[in-house]
Amino acid sequence: MSYACLLILGFGGHARSVADVALSSGMPCLRFYDVSARVGEQFNDFPAIAILPKALPDGWAFLPAAGDNYAREQQLDWFAADRLATLVSARAYLGIGASVGAGSLVAHSAHLGPAVVVGRGAIINTGAIVDHESSIGDCSHVSVGATVAGRCRIGRRVMLGAGATVRDGRCIGDDIVIGSGAVVVSDLIQPGVYVGVPAKPLQRASAKDGVRL
């Protein structure tokens, strides 16, 4: 089903990126929802509202646009599933057999190789690469300029920071954050934050180390 208008759930930086892709794709009518939106607040002449409608009018769809993966996961269920939009930039490339789940964004200059599977509510951001036969789990985010090589398996609610790289055939479990510029060279299963080259768990300094927390 096609829609003429889009309600963007959020009014932060990612929501504005969603609006840019929507407008470049020819969608003429946008509105933002954010509980903290001020009266008269708008972006590119499209208003932000602070009260969520109980139902969407005819011709409207919605797209979760919270930058936080967990918040975006909750947004998926705010309206009926048949009103959930999927947004793919006209300037992105989708290979043969690639599929993108409902509620997901594929931004400008992103590249999805053949047979890539992107789940629901995911973000494949500007210039990101997901190569052949890889899968991206629901509500995960492949950030600007990040690269997922072929035949990788990325779990749910994973955050791949800007410029991060996942080597071919690697698996990343659910609820993992990969820092900007990190390189994943082995499977990562335990939830947590991983940084560096190669990517390793981030260790917090403790008081006994004489470091202020």
What 128-137 contacts at long range (C-beta under 8 Å, 24+ apart), as own/partner pairs, is 131/168, 132/95, 137/174
Please state the domain count of the chain: 2
Taking the CB of residue 16, how many other CB atoms lie within 10 A of it? 15
- The CATH code of the domain that includes 79 is 3.40.50.20
Is the torsion defined by CA of 29, 66, 127, 117 positive or negative? negative
Mean pLDDT, all residues of the chain: 93
The predicted model scores a pTM of: 0.93
Taking the CB of residue 33, how many other CB atoms lie within 10 A of it? 22
Is residue 15, in this structure, part of any structural domain at all?
Answer: yes
User: Pick from 83, 115, 144: which residue ends a domain?
Assistant: 83
Cα 105 from Cα 8, distance rounded (Å): 12
Instruction: Give percent of the chain with pLDDT exceeding 90.
Output: 89
Q: How many residues can be counted in the chain?
A: 213
Q: What is the pLDDT of residue 102?
A: 97
Q: How confident is the model at residue 101 (pLDDT cuts 50, 70, 90)?
A: very high
Average confidence (pLDDT) over 77-103: 97
Clarify whether residues 95 and 68 are in a common domain.
Answer: no
Average confidence (pLDDT) over 46-71: 95
Is residue 213, in this structure, part of any structural domain at all?
Answer: no
Clarify whether residues 62 and 132 are in a common domain.
Answer: no
Clarify whether residues 96 and 112 are in a common domain.
Answer: yes
Is residue 49, in this structure, part of any structural domain at all?
Answer: yes
Q: What is the pLDDT of residue 208?
A: 40
Is residue 210, in this structure, part of any structural domain at all?
Answer: no
Clarify whether residues 59 and 96 are in a common domain.
Answer: no
Clarify whether residues 101 and 145 are in a common domain.
Answer: yes
Is residue 205, in this structure, part of any structural domain at all?
Answer: no
Q: What is the pLDDT of residue 206?
A: 37
Is residue 203, in this structure, part of any structural domain at all?
Answer: no
Instruction: Give percent of the chain with pLDDT exceeding 70.
Output: 94
Domain limits for position 37? 5-83
Clarify whether residues 122 and 78 are in a common domain.
Answer: no
Query: pLDDT tens digits for 112-121?
Result: 999 999 999 9
Is the torsion defined by CA of 138, 85, 94, 161 positive or negative? negative
Sheet holding 42-43, edge to edge: 42-43, 46-49, 29-33, 5-9, 60-64
User: Pick from 83, 99, 118: which residue ends a domain?
Assistant: 83
Clarify whether residues 109 and 75 are in a common domain.
Answer: no
Q: Is the peptide bond before 114 cis (omega within 30 degrees of 0)?
A: no
Clarify whether residues 62 and 91 are in a common domain.
Answer: no
| Cα Rg of the chain, angstroms | 18
Average confidence (pLDDT) over 142-161: 98
